[in-house]
């Protein structure tokens, strides 16, 4: 907890900042050949550290344009991180600012860590860290801890994770007397998150949103939630941004302090910022001369929020006051945002691509620098990706290029498979053969290969396959360490010791391990606490003095209260790892797992040990708790040579020699839901995802699609993704048929005519599946893309489960689909694309149970069989 106050604030009189301005190395040197020029060059050579020498002209411009707002549009593989870190190094090396005067924000801890490391390398470790380099959230916490009381919190507030939030909301919904089945807490948590992403207080949410939940009680519930957080002395992730925004808006003096402090602001992945983050940045970047001079005017300018979203007004104000302020104090918004609009793939969690598209308007006079020289991929890969992304309308427009033109480089290869099983098998074989040493004895490391999927359910098939092949793989982005049950339990103990008001932690562990404190006791206690408006642990302390509880429960609760009293007393003067172990032992938590004879118990004990071990590097229990709530990634075993399997989303920022992109089928990729809910912009985001996927590849990129995929347990026939048609012929080739097509149709030839004229995949489509898809194009029930399978997904999801229908229309749809007489009857003989011929043995709505001659009994949708 300590450490926040000892960061000094430097003012403009800092001697270090009065050094002569650094030479300005603009692109292009002074008149070539002249003596002066050569002398300058020599001097520069002498003065300019190595770190600038390896940069290309655009990168160098991005590094050296230190004054005024800068937007660096950095395409995939163009050296974005390098620019960012070199820019910081440059600021430091030229003495323009101290490390503590640079605010550098990233989205992930990983990115922040990487940046710190690389700056350390550049500056030679001379820099004592950068206190204000971190994620939006970690910097938010830092600000909030300093000024917590202004947000109605104590500085030791707890940060709740999503799970806690959902449990809390559930309690609130129940407390309001609402049915928590009809109004799921999880859904409401999502809504709150959405509002917070937009920077909205309960009072500011749109009326429609407020009505949409719990019979119009949305706003009340949101308010109740915020109040509850306050009494719990807790924050959710959104608050880590919103509280600081509120504080900075309503306390101009504090805002001024930060304006004076932060000379340079750098933002990574700007395309991923949401509205709240944008507001936060704008507040901090909005330096007005008066705020530096400390006049009352400054309060006016910075206090004019929220109406003042447009920086134009700040600029106008700046201009007006310029005369009154000495020239050396000319205001400067030294903000540098780095991002790539083509890689904006987080719209669904509140990111506003518009922030980056609007940058020049937001920051008049901004310098926009495009980095388009790619150092990662082959010309074919860039060509394919570039042609694909050009189909998007909402973009600033960049075209990546490379100097690398090796005739050996292969094109992007499109493969077809019969079903997902074959897809996994074929990719497995491809990986094995790549891994085998070639004639020269060289082999392709598994670490250099990745399978990037759209949705995580696709991973399973690959895992299964690789297990049978004995091929090493690692899944990136699975459940995390901190999310495990035992870790969360242990953390709840620690939290409660540090923060006795943490009712969520209390409720989690009062009866874990079992202490005979069942539902009745807890409810009792809960009501008691609520009635007196005190924390549950305190209530427990009180209630054991009364005779409200049965003796057995009373005794158990007495022990719990005594335990926590004892542990809390040890908090200040016991080494925290020791205390943590003590807590787990004395509470009986360790014993609980030792006595558990289930298969996973030993693993859980290991995890607990690991938890204690990872605590060692922290100063205190509190420090550790904060780390876990914000920095939640578990490290992977880097030593193992293994193929990576991950989603396209988690692949952003990574690169691999060889990339496999399976599942390019309509409905899956682009995902049907993105299409349904996001319309054109949803489609564009999917396309950017495809772009991200392709540009991960350095040398080889293999795209796959299948004709049949099992979705929600039902086999569905699928058609190739439209994105395949958007790839340029010049950079893509279609793989020769490697497989026989499951005994059906025989040829399955995806020949060279793939990109001929209007009808791509012509040969492939001479199958019944294709013919049916064609027929569906005239079907009134098809979706916009003639995608019957997508339509079917929707029916399974909503139509059939009548009770889930929430709207009148929904109910009508549900009724009409379930009561509609099937066009089949029991006993009919039908043909199915994958399973062949069979007889219908049962019909439920549009789901048929069919006894297939060869494949046995299966349940399939009626859309996928034809009468024979």
Partner DNA sequence: CAGATTGCCCTTTTT
Partner DNA sequence: GGGCAATCTG
Residues tagged active-site? 80-81, 268-269, 343, 696
**Per the annotation, does 216 bind a ligand?**
no
Residue placing its CB nearer to DNA in the complex, 291 or 512: 512
Tokens representing 575 are 């080494």
Tokens representing 648 are 């396209």
Instruction: Return the bridge partners of 844, or none.
Output: 847
Q: Determine the Cα–Cα distance for residues 659 and 696; give it in Å rounded to an integer.
A: 7
Instruction: Return the bridge partners of 737, or none.
Output: none
Establish whether the linkage from the previous residue to 513 is cis, with ω within 30° of 0: yes
Residues that bind DNA (CB under 7 A): 107-110, 135, 137-138, 161-162, 181, 184, 237, 348-349, 454-457, 477, 511, 514, 516-519, 630-633, 646-647, 649-650, 671, 673-674, 677-678, 712-713, 796-797, 801, 803-804, 859
Residue placing its CB nearer to DNA in the complex, 678 or 768: 678
Residue placing its CB nearer to DNA in the complex, 18 or 712: 712
Closest approach, Cβ 627 to DNA, in A, equals 11
**Per the annotation, does 293 bind a ligand?**
no
DSSP letter assigned to residue 17: G
**Per the annotation, does 769 bind a ligand?**
no
Please state, in angstroms and as integers, the Cα–Cα distance from residue 216 to each residue in 76, 169, 206, 207, 763, following that order: 45, 16, 12, 9, 55
Report H helices in 587-720.
Answer: 589-594, 601-615, 621-630, 648-651, 672-695
Phi-psi region of 761 (alpha: psi -120 to 50; beta: other; left: phi over 0): left
**Per the annotation, does 79 bind a ligand?**
yes
Residue placing its CB nearer to DNA in the complex, 349 or 823: 349
Closest approach, Cβ 240 to DNA, in A, equals 7
Question: Burial, 675: exposed, middle or buried (Cβ in 10 Å; 0-12, 13-18, 19+)?
Answer: buried
Closest approach, Cβ 135 to DNA, in A, equals 5
Task: For strands 847-852 and 856-861, give the pairing.
Answer: antiparallel
**Per the annotation, does 81 bind a ligand?**
yes
**Per the annotation, does 521 bind a ligand?**
no
Q: Determine the Cα–Cα distance for residues 808 and 635; give it in Å rounded to an integer.
A: 48
Instruction: Return the bridge partners of 70, or none.
Output: 336, 367
Q: Determine the Cα–Cα distance for residues 196 and 194; give it in Å rounded to an integer.
A: 5
3-state secondary structure of 210: helix
Residue placing its CB nearer to DNA in the complex, 444 or 688: 688
Residue placing its CB nearer to DNA in the complex, 339 or 760: 339
Closest approach, Cβ 695 to DNA, in A, equals 17
Residue placing its CB nearer to DNA in the complex, 160 or 430: 160
**Per the annotation, does 777 bind a ligand?**
no
Q: Determine the Cα–Cα distance for residues 298 and 320; give it in Å rounded to an integer.
A: 13
Tokens representing 303 are 């206090």
Report H helices in 436-550.
Answer: 457-469, 485-498, 503-509, 519-532, 536-543
Establish whether the linkage from the previous residue to 318 is cis, with ω within 30° of 0: no
Closest approach, Cβ 253 to DNA, in A, equals 27
* Half-sphere exposure in the Cβ direction for 17 (13 Å, CA): 15
Task: For strands 829-832 and 656-661, give the pairing.
Answer: unpaired
Establish whether the linkage from the previous residue to 301 is cis, with ω within 30° of 0: no
Closest approach, Cβ 188 to DNA, in A, equals 13
**Per the annotation, does 492 bind a ligand?**
no
Instruction: Return the bridge partners of 714, or none.
Output: 711
Q: Determine the Cα–Cα distance for residues 777 and 785; give it in Å rounded to an integer.
A: 8
Residue placing its CB nearer to DNA in the complex, 135 or 355: 135
Residue 62 phi, psi (nearest 5):
-65, -30
Closest approach, Cβ 518 to DNA, in A, equals 3
Closest approach, Cβ 235 to DNA, in A, equals 11
**Sequence ranges of the binding site for ATP:** 74-81
**Sequence ranges of the binding site:** 74-81
């Amino acid at each position: 907890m300590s450490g926040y106050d000892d960061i000094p604030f430097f003012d403009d009189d800092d001697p270090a900042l009065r050094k002569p301005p650094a030479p300005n190395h603009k692109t292009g040197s002074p008149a070539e050949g002249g003596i002066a020029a050569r002398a300058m060059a020599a001097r520069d050579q002498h003065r300019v550290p190595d770190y600038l020498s390896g940069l290309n002209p655009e990168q160098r411009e991005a590094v050296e344009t230190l004054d005024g707002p800068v937007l660096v549009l950095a395409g995939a593989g163009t050296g974005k991180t390098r620019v960012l870190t070199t820019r910081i190094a440059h600021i430091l090396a030229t003495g323009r600012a101290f490390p503590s005067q640079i605010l550098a924000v990233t989205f992930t801890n990983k990115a922040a860590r990487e940046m710190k490391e690389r700056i350390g390398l550049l500056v030679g470790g001379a820099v004592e860290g950068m206190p204000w380099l971190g994620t939006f959230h970690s910097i938010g916490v830092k600000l909030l801890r300093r000024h917590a009381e202004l947000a109605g919190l104590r500085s030791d507030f707890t940060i709740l994770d999503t799970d806690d939030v959902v449990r809390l909301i559930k309690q609130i919904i129940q407390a309001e007397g609402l049915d928590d089945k009809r109004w799921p807490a999880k859904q409401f948590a999502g809504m709150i998150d959405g509002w917070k992403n937009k920077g909205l207080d309960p009072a500011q949410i749109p009326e429609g949103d407020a009505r949409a939940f719990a019979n119009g009680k949305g706003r009340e519930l949101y308010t109740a939630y915020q109040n509850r957080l306050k009494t719990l002395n807790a924050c959710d992730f959104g608050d880590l941004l919103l509280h600081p925004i509120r504080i900075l808006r309503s306390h101009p003096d504090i805002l001024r302090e930060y304006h004076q402090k932060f000379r340079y602001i750098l933002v990574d992945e700007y395309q991923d910022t949401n509205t709240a983050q944008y507001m936060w940045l704008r507040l901090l970047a909005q330096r007005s001369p008066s705020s530096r001079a400390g006049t009352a005017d400054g309060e006016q300018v910075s206090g004019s929020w929220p109406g003042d979203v447009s920086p134009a007004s700040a600029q106008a104000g700046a201009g007006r006051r310029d005369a009154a302020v000495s020239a050396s104090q000319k205001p400067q918004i030294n903000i540098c945002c780095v991002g790539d609009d083509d890689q904006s793939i987080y719209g669904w969690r509140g990111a506003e691509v518009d922030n980056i598209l609007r940058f020049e308007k937001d920051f008049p006079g901004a310098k926009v620098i495009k980095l388009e020289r790619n150092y990662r991929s082959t010309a074919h890969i860039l060509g394919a990706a570039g042609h694909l992304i050009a189909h998007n309308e909402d973009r600033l427009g960049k075209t990546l290029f490379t100097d690398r033109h090796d005739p050996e480089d292969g094109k992007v290869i499109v493969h077809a498979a019969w079903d997902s099983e074959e897809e996994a098998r074929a990719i497995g074989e491809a990986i094995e053969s790549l891994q085998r040493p070639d004639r020269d004895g060289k082999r392709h490391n598994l670490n250099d290969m990745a399978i990037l999927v759209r949705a995580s359910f696709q991973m399973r098939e690959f895992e299964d396959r690789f297990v049978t092949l004995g091929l090493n793989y690692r899944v990136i982005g699975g459940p995390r360490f901190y999310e495990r049950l035992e870790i969360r339990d242990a953390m709840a103990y620690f939290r409660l010791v540090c923060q006795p008001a943490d009712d969520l932690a209390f409720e989690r562990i009062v009866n874990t391990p079992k202490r005979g404190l069942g539902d009745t006791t807890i409810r009792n206690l809960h009501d008691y606490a609520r009635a007196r408006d005190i924390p549950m642990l305190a209530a427990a302390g009180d209630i054991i003095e009364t005779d409200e509880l049965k003796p057995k429960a009373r005794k158990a609760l007495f022990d719990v209260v005594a335990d926590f009293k004892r542990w809390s007393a040890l908090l200040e003067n016991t080494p925290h790892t020791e205390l943590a172990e003590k807590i787990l032992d004395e509470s009986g938590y360790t014993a609980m797992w030792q006595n558990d004879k289930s298969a996973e118990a030993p693993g859980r004990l290991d995890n607990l040990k690991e938890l204690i071990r990872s605590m060692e590097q922290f100063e205190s229990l509190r420090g550790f708790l904060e780390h876990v709530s914000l920095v939640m990634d578990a490290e992977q075993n880097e030593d193992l040579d293994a193929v990576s399997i991950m989603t396209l989303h988690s692949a952003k920022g990574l690169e691999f020699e060889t990339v496999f992109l399976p599942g390019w089928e309509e409905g899956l990729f682009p995902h049907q839901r993105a299409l349904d809910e996001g319309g054109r912009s949803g489609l564009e985001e999917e396309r950017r995802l495809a772009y991200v996927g392709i540009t991960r590849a350095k040398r080889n990129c293999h795209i796959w699609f299948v004709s049949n995929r099992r979705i929600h347990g039902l086999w569905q026939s699928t058609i190739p993704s439209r994105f395949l048609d958007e790839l340029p012929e010049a950079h893509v080739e279609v793989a020769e048929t490697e497989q026989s097509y499951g005994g059906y149709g025989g040829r399955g030839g995806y020949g060279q005519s793939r990109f001929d004229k209007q009808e791509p995949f012509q040969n492939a489509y001479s199958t019944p599946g294709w013919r049916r898809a064609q027929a569906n194009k005239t079907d009134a029930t098809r979706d916009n893309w003639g995608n019957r399978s997508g339509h079917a997904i929707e029916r399974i999801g909503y139509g059939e489960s009548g009770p889930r229908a929430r709207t009148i229309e929904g109910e009508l749809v549900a009724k009409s689909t379930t009561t509609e007489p099937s066009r089949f009857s029991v006993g009919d003989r039908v043909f199915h694309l994958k399973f062949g011929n069979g007889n219908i043995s049962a019909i439920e709505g549009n789901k048929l149970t069919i006894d297939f001659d060869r494949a046995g009994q299966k349940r399939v949708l009626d859309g996928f069989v034809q009468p024979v």
